[in-house]
Amino acid sequence: MTQTSLKSLLDRAPLFLGVLVVSASLTLAVYGRLTGMAKPLVAASPPTAERNLRFADRADGAVVITLADSGQVLDVATGQNGFLRGTMRGFARRRKESGIGSMPPIRLSGYADGRLVLFDPSTGRQVDLEAFGSLNEAVFARLLTMAPESRTASAGTQRGGI
């Protein structure tokens, strides 16, 4: 082998290696799908607790959380709730891209195994909250059990829904 052909072969080695890795990944993914190995680790079970919620921004930057069925205020999340605001901003972005307004509620579900899931039936987006750690998950977990305030949300105090 001449030095020129060896250099040419070495120059192509990363390309061949990349093709090999992609091919192996695709082969394993197809194999997993066909054999059933790619099933979710957690079996689907009915929720033990569930609430349909609406989230709306207030002019002062707070987020008003209401029960969708009654309109009762569940909580008002102020500036220190960055995780709640960020999570709901993601849902709002997906709704805006899909041309969906803020009226359809978002479902918060708790399961017997401790999982906590936010689901938007209007877009199909689902967020498994345990992935963000117990402190962030607790921000939403308390919304499943807390009692609503005695007042309903006033449309005049809100500037837009999430």
Q: Domain check: are 25 and 57 in the same one?
A: no
If one counts the domains in the chain, the total is 2
pLDDT on residue 49? 92
End-to-end CA distance of the chain: 66
Q: Are residues 71 and 132 in the same domain?
A: yes
| Per-residue pLDDT, 78 | 82
- Enclosing domain of residue 5: 1-39
Instruction: Verify that 59 and 103 share a domain, yes or no.
Output: yes
Find, among 122, 50, 119, the residue nearest to 87 by Cα: 119
> Does 25 lie in the same domain as 59?
no
Higher pLDDT, 30 or 155: 30
Q: For residue 161, what pLDDT is reported?
A: 57
Mean pLDDT of 15-20: 80
Domain shared by 100 and 143, yes or no: yes
Instruction: Say whether both 59 and 22 belong to one domain.
Output: no
- The stretch 111-128 carries a mean pLDDT of 91
Nearest to 148 by CA among 68, 80, 79, 60: 68
* pLDDT per position as a tens digit, 51-98: 999 998 888 888 899 999 999 999 988 877 788 888 988 898 998 898
Q: pLDDT tens-digit profile of 25-57?
A: 888 777 776 766 655 545 567 899 999 999 988
Q: How many Cβ atoms sit within 10 Å of the Cβ of residue 66? A: 24
